[in-house]
Every structure is written in C-alpha cells, then in structure tokens.
Amino acid sequence: MDIVFHPGVNGSDPVVEFYPYTPSATAGYAFMGIFGVSTVVHLVLTFPFRAAYFIPLILGGVCETFGYYGRAWSHQSRTEISSWALQEMLILCAPPLLAATVYMVLGRMIRSLDAEHLSSMRTKRLTLVFVLNDILCFCTQLGGAGVQATGDTNIMSIGKKVVLAGLIFSLVVFGFFIWIAGTFHRRLQRDPTLILIQNPDLKWRRYMVALYISCFALMLRNLVRTIQFGSDRLSPLNTKEAYIYVFDAFLMVATMLAVMVYHPGRMIKKARRFAKANEFCGGIASDANVPLTPCSPKPC
C-alpha cells in the first residue's frame, strides 16, 4: 500500500501520508473528462436501444468521473483524507458496476438470438448468479475501501485484506463467466439459430468481441490491483502513479468504449424486431392454411 503513518513528534499531531508521490492534477482532470463524456454517451444510448441494463455501467462511469476528480484534488495535499477517500472508494468500486452490465448483456444477447439451448447455464440463472457474485465483490471492495478512510493503521490493514479478497474472488468469477461466454460462442458458430440464418447482417460476432474486450480489460485491471494490494508499499505499482492510469483508468475507458462502439443494444433490438416479424408472418401463413416458411425481416 502507499499509505505511511507518521506519529506525532514532541506533541505534534500524527500525519497520514496517503501517496508516495504528488498526484497529477492534469492526468486526473483528463480522465475525469473522458469518463464524464463516455458516461453521458452511454446514458443517451440507453433510450433508443431501450438498454436499462446499462444503468450499472452508467453509475460506474459516474464513480470513475468523480474518483479521478478526487485524484486531481489530491494534487493539493498528499495528507488530505477527504480527497484520498473520495478517489479510493469510487475508483475501487466502479469496476464491479461495469462488470454487472457485462454480465447482464450476455444473457440478453442469448435470449434475443433464441439460443438459450446453446448456453451452459439458463439465462435467468446466469444473470442472477453473476450479478449476485458481483454485488458481493462490490460490497467487499466498498467496505474495504471505506474502513481505510478511518486513518487508523490497524483498521486500514484489515481494509486492505478485505479489498484483496474481493479482487481475488472477482478474478475467479470473471474466469468462469468467460468460459461460459466462449462455450456459447463456439456452439452458436457451429449451430446458428434460425434468426441468424435468416438475418446474417446481425453480425453477432463483433458484439461478442466487444464483450471479450470488456472482460479482458476488467480482468487485467483486477489482476494488477490484486498484485498491488498484495505487494510491498515500495513496489513500483505503489510508488509510480503511471501504473494507476495505465492499468486502471485506461482499461476502464477501454471497457466503456468497447460496448459503446459496438453497443449490444443495437443487435438485441434488431434481433427482437426480426423475431417479431417472423412470428407475424408465421401467424399469417397459419391462418391461410399454407405451409409455414421462413419469413423475411422485411414487411410481409
């Protein structure tokens, strides 16, 4: 950890030095702006794509925005607990919120493609299990970061261990999730559903790639954070600010950008529209007592 406790000397008040360096105000404000703009864009996209399941990601973007404001604020003083606590809690707690949206996206993609029979886990159970695990990760990291804000060295040490446990658990959960996503991907390639056969322009693979990019970025970030919290306070991960921006800020930006450029809501909306068109045409064929044939997504 990068926290050093200096006991008072000759009656002076003790001081807690939260950083071994002076945080960069420029970098803090730059990423504050990047996360702020990305969050607003995702908020706007929830309306045309009816993607309420992106609300956790939007909340995570808000946390990242104010978290990096806290780092910019910390430039004024390395011993100010308010600015340190703001950035520590929000930057640590934002990734589980981003991950919650990633978990929910896969289940909705599977259902929209009518491919539940190809999933290793029922979609309702998949979303429930992973989101509950994510809530547990969120609570451990929030609690661990929160107790560190007390300034008590013993409690801060406990908080560090709690955060470390949450990060390790999140790595295990992510590994299992990627296995499920990869298995579904392979099965869908081998045995495409009727919706994909009729509508090859859905291009579902690019949305799966966006999902993988987000998962990889989140896993790498959690892995580096795990190493950071488990390493000595004099290690480069704790003494060089650049690592925070390369292995945390940049990776979280990549997570948000991947599902912004290839927003799953676009594919899910198209797939549902095609499915409704097929149902409508199938109903017409049934009423007319004619053989049921695949229906074009175009108006019948």
Tens of pLDDT along 100-134?
A: 999 999 999 999 999 999 999 888 888 888 888 88
Instruction: State yes or no: pLDDT of 286 exceeds 60.
Output: no
Q: DSSP letter at 295?
A: P
pLDDT tier for residue 280 given thresholds of 50, 70 and 90 = low
What would the pLDDT profile of 8-34 be if each residue is shown by its tens digit? 555 555 667 778 889 999 999 999 999
State the CATH class of domain 22-287: mainly alpha
Residues 121 and 135: their CA atoms lie apart, in Å, by 19
Between these two residues, 290 and 175, which has the higher pLDDT value? 175
What mean pLDDT do residues 174-202 have? 91
Phi, psi angle pair for 176, to nearest 5°: -65, -40
pLDDT at 174: 87
What would the pLDDT profile of 198-228 be if each residue is shown by its tens digit? 888 888 999 999 999 999 999 999 999 888 8
Express the helix, strand and coil content of the chain in percent, nearest 5 each. 75, 0, 25
Identify the helix (H) or strand (E) that includes residue 16. strand 15-17
Q: How far is CA 232 from CA 92, 116, 118, 157, 241, in A?
A: 19, 46, 45, 13, 15
pLDDT at 39: 97
Return mean pLDDT, the chain.
Answer: 84
The residue ranges of every structural domain in the chain are 22-287
pLDDT at 109: 94
Instruction: State yes or no: pLDDT of 296 exceeds 50.
Output: no
pLDDT at 138: 79
Instruction: State yes or no: pLDDT of 60 exceeds 80.
Output: yes
pLDDT tier for residue 6 given thresholds of 50, 70 and 90 = low
Instruction: State yes or no: pLDDT of 145 exceeds 70.
Output: no
Phi, psi angle pair for 16, to nearest 5°: -105, 120
Instruction: State yes or no: pLDDT of 290 exceeds 90.
Output: no
Instruction: State yes or no: pLDDT of 164 exceeds 60.
Output: yes
